[in-house]
């Protein structure tokens, strides 16, 4: 039951999971990356409200001036997406994640957390990100979100779409009775309903 997604996931409930979900399952059970080029990363980050429009525009300009760097960011985004996916997919099934994936996340976090600053607002202190032109800045909130999810109270709410072989997307099940089965009712949930109906009418 292959179910290629044409749009990025916005329903997982966690930025790091939506990032991890930027793939489609291929016929040979592999993963095809949805981020085809650096501009896709910008588009995704805007859609998930990780960056705002002025930042997106300046990143487009930066990427044009530094195409090699932009490609390197894209490649590291693929690697990090796969790390996060493997890590949270294991946890969704109460398995111990591969220590190599945790190592990779820790390594990425070292550089990422160095971009955080404490600022004092009227109503108290808050973490903000460096105001820089860094091409990988949309990855920083993703990694921070992953660290927060791993250390927070919602970790046992990470689940995987019941269309495991055709979709495999991850989500946070925040329903009261932990009944979430699908990445989205419109895609996988609806497809399962149609299949059930088809089987019933055939029988
Ligand atoms: Zn699904």
Q: What is the pLDDT of residue 3?
A: 57
Report pLDDT digits (tens) over 3-60. Answer: 578 899 999 999 999 999 999 999 888 899 999 999 999 999 999 999 999 999 999 9
Dist. CA 179 → ligand 1 center (Å):
15
Compute the Cα dihedral for 84, 85, 89, 90 and give only its sign.
negative
Dist. CA 134 → ligand 1 center (Å):
33
Identify which of 64, 83, 203, 57 has the alpha carbon closest to the alpha carbon of residue 143. Answer: 83
Dist. CA 34 → ligand 1 center (Å):
15
Dist. CA 181 → ligand 1 center (Å):
9
End-to-end alpha carbon distance in the chain = 20
Which residues place a Cβ less than 5 A from the ion ligand 1? 161, 163, 167, 169, 183, 188
Q: Collect all residues with Cβ–Cβ distance below 8 Å to 37 and sequence separation of at least 6.
A: 74
Rounded Cα distance, 50 and 143, in Å: 12
Dist. CA 152 → ligand 1 center (Å):
24
Is the predicted pLDDT of residue 2 greater than 60, yes or no? no
Domains of the chain with CATH codes: 15-202 (1.10.3300.10)
pLDDT band at 199 (very low <50, low <70, confident <90, very high): confident
pLDDT above 90: percentage of residues in the chain: 83
Identify which of 185, 190, 150, 154 has the alpha carbon closest to the alpha carbon of residue 11. Answer: 185
pLDDT band at 144 (very low <50, low <70, confident <90, very high): very high
Report pLDDT digits (tens) over 105-131. Answer: 999 999 999 999 999 999 999 999 998
Q: Compute the residue count for the chain.
A: 203
Dist. CA 114 → ligand 1 center (Å):
35
Dist. CA 71 → ligand 1 center (Å):
29
Is the predicted pLDDT of residue 192 greater than 80, yes or no? no
Is the predicted pLDDT of residue 90 greater than 90, yes or no? yes
Dist. CA 187 → ligand 1 center (Å):
7
Dist. CA 135 → ligand 1 center (Å):
30
Dist. CA 3 → ligand 1 center (Å):
8
Is the predicted pLDDT of residue 1 greater than 70, yes or no? no
């Amino acid at each position: 039951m292959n179910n290629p997604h044409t749009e990025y996931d916005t329903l997982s409930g966690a930025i790091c999971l939506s990032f991890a979900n930027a793939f489609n399952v291929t016929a040979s059970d592999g993963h095809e990356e949805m981020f085809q080029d650096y501009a896709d990363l910008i588009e995704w980050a805007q859609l998930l409200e990780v960056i705002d429009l002025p930042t997106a525009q300046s990143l487009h300009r930066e990427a044009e001036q530094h195409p090699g760097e932009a490609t390197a960011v894209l490649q590291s985004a693929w690697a990090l997406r796969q790390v996060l996916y493997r890590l949270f997919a294991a946890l969704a099934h109460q398995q111990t994640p591969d220590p190599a994936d945790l190592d990779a996340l820790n390594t990425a976090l070292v550089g990422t957390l160095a971009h955080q600053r404490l600022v004092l607002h009227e109503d108290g202190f808050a973490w903000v990100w460096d105001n820089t032109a860094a091409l990988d800045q949309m990855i920083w909130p993703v990694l921070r979100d992953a660290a927060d999810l791993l250390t927070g109270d919602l970790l046992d709410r990470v689940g995987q779409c019941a269309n495991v072989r055709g979709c495999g997307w991850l989500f946070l099940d925040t329903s009261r009775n932990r009944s979430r089965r699908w990445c989205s009712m419109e895609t996988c949930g609806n497809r399962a309903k149609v299949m059930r109906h088809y089987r019933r009418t055939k029988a």
